[in-house]
Chains A and B, each alone.
Chain A
Amino acid sequence: MTSTKKDPVIVVFQLSGGNDYLNTVIPYADGLYYDNRPAVGIHEDRVIKLDDKVGLHPEMGPLGKVWDRGDMAIVHGIGYKNAPRSHFRSMDIWHTCEPDTLGTEGWLGRATRDIDPNKENVLTTVSFGPSLFRALALPGTPVAVVDDLDNYGLLPGITEEAQRTEILDRFARMYSPAIGTSAVMDYMGQTGLDTLEGADILKEAPLMYSSNVEYPDTTIAKKLKGIAQVHMANFGSRIFYVDHGSFDSHSNQLGMADKLWKDVSEGLGAFLDDLREHNVADNVVVMMFTEFGRRTRDNGSGTDHGAAGGAFMFGEGIKGGQYAEFPSLEEKDLEQGDVIPNYDYRGLYSSILEDWMALDAKPIVGGTYEKLPIFS
């Protein structure tokens, strides 16, 4: 490659189960917060204060450091009108950009198609999870789905080196085009070869990688380390996807959220440090979202499904700070007891797609939405 300009990369980090926004970005100066949260409210002394109004959950220390260096943005009160408060439906809405009808195509599936219309790179988009998130789904658009990078590939049960090489060679020949087979056989053949090629390339990533950064021994850190390894291996991957959960804290929220945010913050902190140590951080941003926030008032030990949530952006390309307005906790401003979204999530998507990924957002998100000046 002769160009020195690096292609922009987005890592989408999904907090599954509905993260409690009000206990993540805590309005510690607002008495209404403590009035509504007799059981799960977090005392002012423990909050990691960002300014004289809000602060982060006490377990978010590593992300507080990211905030301090100006690489973290908070998008307050993000969501959409008429939130259904169902996990499944809400997640679909975030994934497909279709709040009113059921959509089956994912916004990142469309972005993948637009980045690589000729399907030249089977690793344009790499997802770290057990199955294809709907956000990534688009028929005919290849996405590599990696559960565990160290054991990624076809037939992981065949471990003996020579036998493995042979069986995969034979697999490639069995899936090669042949005259007189059906269209479906041909399609499966191509898909099988794409899968094999992706796995073949990806397995090199951990071998090429070395780092002084120590990741904690958690599932999420392992996945994030996998993303760092693939990014550093320069396979041309542009979109990464990862999820962690469950944040569905109907009961025993305090201990549960502590553990979740400790794991997420330490893992993500290590990931960002790792990229910086290797001088490959400048073209990567992370977007973190959840399907909904939770009820304003707690239920005695947890919080139930709500509407507005918060989203975060991380990375050297981010202009740190707070965006959109923190929703009001005043009784009169609540809808069914929930803080109301005041910023449409498709605006954040549009900002990322156009101002970071240099794609046309309108056909991907299905319209024009207010963007945020979130990139430095």
Chain B
Amino acid sequence: MSNQDIATMAHLLRRAGFGASRDELEGYLAKGYEAVVEELLDTDAQPESDRFTMMRFQPQYYKPGTIQGMGGAEWVHNMVNTKRPLEEKMALFWHGIFAAGVSKVDHYDEVMSMVYKFRKYGLGDYRQLLLQMAKDPSMLYWLDNCENHADAVNENWGRELLELFSMGVGNYTEVDVRECSRAFTGWTFEPKLPRFPIGRFEWSFDYREDDHDYTEKTFLGQTGNFDGDDIIRIISENPACAGFIARHLYNFFVADEAQVPAWSVTPPRDPEAVDLLANTLMNNNYDIRSALRVLFNSEFFKDARFERLKNPTEVVIGALRMVGGSEFPAPGIGELASQPKYMGQDLLNPPSVEGWHTGAEWINSGSLMRRINFTAELVGDVSRPGIKNMVDRLIAKGDISPEAVVDSCLDLMGPLEVNSASLTELNGFVAKGGDFAWNSEADIEESTSRVSALLQLIVSLREYQYA
């Protein structure tokens, strides 16, 4: 097993999941890269997450309704514990695209039910997911399709469907927006009772035949008496749709792209890669699993280590999974679940229908300090099993030089690649204590404390902000 193999496997697990411990990585390496890709893709082969522990010990976070700040706990708990990391990663992916949130829906349970759909349909046929979204009550309300009537068309959903959920600006006309919206008239939800004074009833999709516009429509060059299902079929037949989803996959799994609104004027970073993914989608009935299989096995993916900034959820979940010890839904889980929000990604509450801007836009002085301090506090805690394991691995090496400790820690934390200036600082930081010794209790305590400080400096590196 070479360092290169470990680095590539760690990269795969960071992107297709939320990272992996060194023990896990070694287990994966024994299976081989392609087999691990298959294992990650075959989510159903792994058990579902246990929801009952959460419901038993922290029931207030299960279906918290409208209570501010309570929404993300169940999801965060699931991401920390899941045996199906790619399923959760895809849910996060789709949440950033079908970005509806409590800012308008005002009900965590309804937005969370979208996440359940992302889990269920997120790796399958994209067209099916799109249809699910078109019928999702949160989405219908978020984009006002409940106000889209046969005699009074509301274009909000119709426009965003084309602009943000399927094709992107430049691939349709204003007439297409209008015709598309007409096809979705009558797609609404029930019940629309106000939530006061007795609370919110669960919503479900409702098709109002008498509110649907049955006249002829011309959409993307085809003419007929189209309903919403037809629109989704016609959209998906357009290569622009496959290209758009492919670029999203590239942006989320491979390397940071321009922000979505700039896509119509900024070419992809790697047009060949996006084309390959788009063709894979077109040739496989929009099966997302097939596209990801090609993506994860490609050279452009393997070469893209640390080419994108971690989003806040990746920062938080990645750190929690690496250090371990937060699997149980203990008191304080609400505060833990708020951490992505403090870093600029309030789960279930995206800033707008455009989702979150990514890449460098995650970073401001408040969020950078939060990212560093949150992670540093965890890696500085040597009682955490993941950190303890790293120290044990160092102890197994016997007494070692400061440079060797820096090397090992960078390796165990990634393996991370840092520039020579950063390496000089890390080496300088641990140099003056001399060799790390483990011969007595006092030695171990002293050396462990130096490792703890070193790990905190490592997670402060700019390089550590990349996935």
Contact = CB atoms under 8 A, between A and B. Distances in A.
A167 B68 contact: no
Nearest to A153: B369
A127 B68 CA distance: 20
B462 A192 contact: yes
Given A86-B104, A170-B429, A304-B197, A132 B367 contact: yes
Nearest to A188: B462
Main secondary structure of the interface of B (DSSP, over half): helix
B104 A145 contact: no
Contacts, number: 139
Nearest to B461: A174
Nearest to A175: B462
A87 B65 CA distance: 12
A194 B364 CA distance: 10
Contacts of A170: 425-426, 428-429, 457
A102 B457 CA distance: 39
Contacts of A158: 380, 453, 456
B369 A246 contact: no
A92 B349 CA distance: 11
B103 A132 contact: no
B106 A88 contact: yes
Interface string B365-399: 11111101100110010000000000000000000
Contact of A88 (B68, B357, B376): B68
A248 B66 CA distance: 11
Interface in A176-191: 178, 181, 183-185, 187-189, 191
Given A166-B429, A174-B461, A143 B365 contact: yes
Contact of A87 (B66, B343, B461): B66
A87 B376 contact: no
B128 interface: no
A157 B376 contact: yes
B429 A84 contact: no
Contacts of B365: 122, 142-145, 191, 194-195, 198
Given A139-B361, A170-B428, A304-B197, A188 B456 contact: no
B260 to A, nearest CB: 13
Nearest to B379: A157
A145 B422 CA distance: 26
Contact of B453 (A144, A163, A174): A163
Contact of A154 (B104, B106, B341, B372): B372
Contacts of A173: 421, 425
Interface string B325-364: 0000000000000100111100001011100010111011
Given A89-B106, A299-B197, A189 B349 contact: no
B104 A167 contact: no
B369 A195 contact: yes
Given A155-B372, A187-B360, A198-B365, A102 B425 contact: no
B460 A88 contact: no
B309 interface: yes
Nearest to B381: A157
Given A174-B461, A187-B360, A143 B106 contact: no
B196 interface: yes
Contacts of B361: 139
Interface residues of A, number: 55
Contacts of A183: 360
A183 B361 CA distance: 12
B104 A195 contact: no
Contacts of B462: 174-175, 185, 188-189, 192
Nearest to B351: A104
B376 A155 contact: yes
A191 B364 contact: yes
A85 to B, nearest CB: 8
B465 interface: yes
Contacts of B363: 187-188, 191
A171 B457 contact: yes
B68 A171 contact: no
B101 interface: yes
B419 interface: yes
A155 B373 CA distance: 5
B456 A145 contact: no
B70 to A, nearest CB: 11
A88 B421 contact: no
Contacts of B338: 130
A188 B106 contact: no
Nearest to B348: A88
A87 B342 CA distance: 18
A130 B340 CA distance: 11
A86 B196 CA distance: 12
A248 B65 CA distance: 14
A167 B196 contact: no
A305 interface: yes
B161 interface: no
B320 interface: no
A170 B349 CA distance: 37
A157 B344 contact: no
Interface in B63-86: 66-68
Contacts of B380: 157-158
Contacts of A155: 372-373, 376, 456-457, 460
Nearest to B101: A88
B237 to A, nearest CB: 31
Contacts of B453: 158, 163, 167
Interface string A300-333: 0000110000000000000000000000000000
Contact of B369 (A89, A92, A145, A174): A145
Contact of B343 (A92, A131, A154, A157): A131
B10 interface: no
Q: Which of B366, B368, B426 counts the most A-chain CB atoms under 10 A from its CB?
A: B366
25 contacts: A17-B68, A86-B104, A88-B106, A102-B353, A103-B352, A104-B351, A122-B365, A130-B338, A131-B341, A132-B344, A132-B364, A132-B366, A139-B357, A139-B361, A154-B373, A155-B456, A166-B429, A170-B457, A174-B421, A174-B462, A187-B360, A188-B363, A191-B363, A191-B365, A299-B196
Interface of B: 66-68, 101-104, 106, 196-197, 256, 309, 338, 341-344, 349, 351-353, 357, 359-361, 363-370, 372-373, 376-377, 380, 419, 421-422, 425-426, 428-429, 453, 456-457, 460-462, 465
Given A92-B103, A170-B428, A188-B360, 8 more contacts: A87-B106, A139-B364, A143-B366, A155-B373, A191-B365, A198-B365, A304-B196, A304-B197
The 6 closest A-B pairs by CB, nearest first: A145-B366, A88-B103, A86-B106, A131-B342, A102-B352, A195-B365
